[in-house]
């Protein structure tokens, strides 16, 4: 993974790249490239042994022109202020790409959650929720899960918020457990949009998904669901990896059994259903039809991009390809489905969850999946139209052109104040 690329600079260069094809003033562009505000806080929390520990935490509210700030909370030792700012900006353009009425936000705590007990993680999460309370709310800013957080953390944040506010407000966070107001289909949504977008891309290229070979980097929520669903569509998952390494089988393996192995042992490595072990770098450069990066940002830098042999990349992760790598891949005619479309299923079903919370009326999983499918297919078609109409070099640029237009329109219709 490239160390030098600052994700916030990547975001800004992606916006500049798209703006070059648009009529947007420099002054408005400045607004589009910077967060409106960033909370930086230090959480002091009691550990199980009675000692105190300090945790840096952030929440960036990037842009609220199209609706409440929306975005996940990540627990990872490498979280930085710039990473959180970039991720919050990607949320703005992601929500605009798929046309859901949200702005963008993102948060994170600098922590390796494996080092703490469940009771400690609960106190840390509640301490963060207390700091977030003035900023968040069903109509203000709505957090969600991200790397190393899930239903459990969302349930804690919701409970803390509701207790402090003396109300019920299930829509203050999304990604909750179903009994706490979560939506059917939310856990699968990110992997689902990743593979729906890939299916549309294969269709656009007039290539068969049936029998296509697939490699998945990162076997967490987004990656493993994408593997399972693409296998169900008839493709063959030949490789998967996590932070401990990867596995490969020429003729594919059962993605569900690989996940069971990871659940039991902590990693896909050692899974008996695969023929051999490979490194993450080897996985990214396999000769496959579809590559799904589903780990962290900057996984594919310029050097690795030169060796990529996949025909299509569907970005389940946020920012897995650096801007320099994007250029290399475009030069090799690799069709990259950008993160702000490919993984938008997560925020889209979060939006459905929030709608259900506000209406106190819950949908079937079938309805959730049908509505998601329609949104991803429409968004993909809009990208292709813009890509072809403007003769753009990448689908990413097309996505930013579509999304920036929508954010600018909302801003200009509202005007600035005071
Ligand atoms: P997760 O914590 O469930 O899984 C992350 C996976 O990546 C794990 O298997 C981990 O071992 C692996 N990993 C970490 N570092 C790695 C490395 N250096 N090399 C290879 N594998 C590595 O997280 P997730 O929710 O699946 O999120 C993954 C990506 O998808 C992130 O970029 C996240 O922002 C993005 N995303 C997730 C959602 C969602 O709904 N979960 C929505 C949109 C985007």
Mean pLDDT of the 309-328 span: 95
Q: How confident is the model at residue 416 (pLDDT cuts 50, 70, 90)?
A: confident
Q: Which atom of ligand 1 lies nearest, measured to the CA of 175?
A: 40
CB-based contacts of 258: which residues, under 8 Å, 6+ apart? Answer: 219, 224, 227, 237, 240, 247, 268, 271, 273, 274
pLDDT in tens, 339-396: 999 999 999 999 999 999 999 999 999 999 999 999 999 999 999 999 999 999 999 9
- Alpha-helical runs (H) found in 266-322: 280-284, 302-307
Nearest atom in ligand 1 to the alpha carbon of residue 296 is 32
Question: Please, what are the domains in the chain?
Answer: 35-175 (3.40.50.10860), 189-342 (3.40.50.720)
| Known catalytic residue at 106 | yes
Choose the residue to mutate in 87, 270, 296 for probing ligand 1, maximizing ligand atoms within 8 Å of C-beta: 296
Segment 220-264, tens digit of pLDDT: 999 999 999 999 999 999 999 999 999 999 999 999 999 999 999
What does the pLDDT look like over 156-214, one tens digit per residue?
999 999 999 999 999 999 999 999 999 999 999 999 999 999 999 999 999 999 999 99
Quick one: pLDDT at residue 278?
98
17-37 residue pLDDT tens: 999 999 999 999 999 999 999
> What is the reported pLDDT for 1?
43
* Residue having the nearest C-alpha atom to atom 15 of ligand 1: 243
Give the start-end residues of each E strand in 197-321. Answer: 213-217, 236-242, 245-248, 276-278, 290-293, 312-314
What is residue 251's predicted lDDT score, i.e. its pLDDT?
96
> Residue 206 in contact with residue 199, Cβ under 8 Å?
no
The pLDDT tens digits for 90-124 are 999 999 999 999 999 999 999 999 999 999 999 99
Residues with CB under 6 A from ligand 1: 1, 145-148, 190, 217-223, 241-243, 280, 294-296, 316-318, 343, 346
Q: How confident is the model at residue 408 (pLDDT cuts 50, 70, 90)?
A: very high
- Report pTM: 0.94
pLDDT band, residue 415 (cuts 50/70/90): confident
pLDDT of residue 2: 46
The residue whose CA is least distant from atom 5 of ligand 1 is 220
> How far, in Å, is the centroid of ligand 1 from the Cα of 285?
19
Burial of 270-301, coded b for 16+ CB within 10 Å and e otherwise, reads ebeebeebbebbbbbbbebbbbbbbbbbbbbb
Q: Please tell me which residue in 33, 70, 94, 106 is annotated as part of the active site.
A: 106
Calpha distance 122→108 (Å, rounded)? 15
Q: Where are the beta strands (DSSP E) in 48-103?
A: 52-63, 69-76
CA 249 vs CA 209, 213, 257, 263, 271: distances in Å: 18, 11, 14, 20, 11
Average pLDDT for 48-77:
98
Query: Is residue 73 pLDDT above 80, yes or no?
Result: yes
């Amino acid at each position: 993974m490239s160390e030098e690329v600052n994700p916030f600079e990547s975001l800004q260069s992606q916006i500049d790249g798209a703006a070059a094809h648009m009529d947007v003033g420099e002054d408005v562009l400045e607004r589009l490239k910077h967060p409106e505000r960033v909370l930086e806080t230090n959480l002091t929390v009691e550990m199980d042994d009675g000692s105190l520990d300090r945790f840096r935490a952030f929440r960036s509210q990037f842009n609220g022109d199209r609706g409440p700030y929306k975005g996940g909370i990540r627990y990872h030792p490498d979280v930085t202020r710039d990473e959180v700012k970039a991720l919050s900006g990607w949320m703005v353009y992601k929500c605009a790409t798929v046309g859901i009425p949200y702005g963008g936000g993102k948060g994170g705590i600098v922590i390796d959650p494996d080092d703490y007990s469940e009771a400690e993680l609960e106190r840390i999460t509640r301490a963060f929720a207390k700091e977030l309370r003035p900023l968040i709310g069903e109509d203000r800013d709505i957090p969600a899960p991200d790397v190393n957080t899930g239903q459990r953390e969302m349930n804690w944040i919701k409970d803390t918020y509701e207790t402090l506010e003396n109300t019920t407000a299930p829509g203050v966070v999304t990604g909750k457990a179903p009994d706490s107001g979560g939506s059917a289909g939310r856990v699968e949504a990110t992997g689902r949009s990743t593979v729906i977008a890939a299916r549309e891309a294969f269709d656009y290229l007039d290539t068969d998904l049936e029998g296509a070979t697939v490699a998945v980097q990162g076997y967490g929520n987004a990656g493993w669901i994408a593997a399972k669903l693409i296998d169900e569509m008839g493709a063959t998952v030949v490789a998967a990896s996590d932070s401990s390494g990867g596995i490969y089988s020429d003729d594919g393996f059962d993605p569900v059994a690989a996940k069971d192995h990871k659940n039991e042992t902590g990693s896909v490595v050692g899974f008996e259903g695969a023929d051999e072990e490979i490194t993450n770098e080897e996985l990214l450069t396999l000769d496959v039809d579809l590559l799904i990066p589903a780990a962290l940002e900057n996984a594919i830098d310029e050097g690795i991009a030169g060796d990529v042999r996949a025909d299509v990349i569907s970005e389940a992760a946020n920012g897995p390809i650096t801007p320099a790598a994007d250029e290399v891949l475009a030069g090799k005619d690799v069709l990259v489905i950008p993160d702000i479309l490919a993984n938008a299923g997560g925020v889209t079903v979060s939006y459905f969850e929030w709608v259900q919370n506000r209406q106190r009326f819950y949908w079937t999983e079938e309805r959730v999946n049908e509505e998601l499918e329609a949104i991803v297919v429409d968004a993909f078609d809009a990208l292709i139209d813009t890509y072809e109409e403007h003769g753009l070099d990448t689908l990413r640029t097309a996505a930013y052109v579509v999304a920036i237009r929508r954010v600018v329109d909302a801003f200009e219709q509202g005007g600035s104040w005071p």
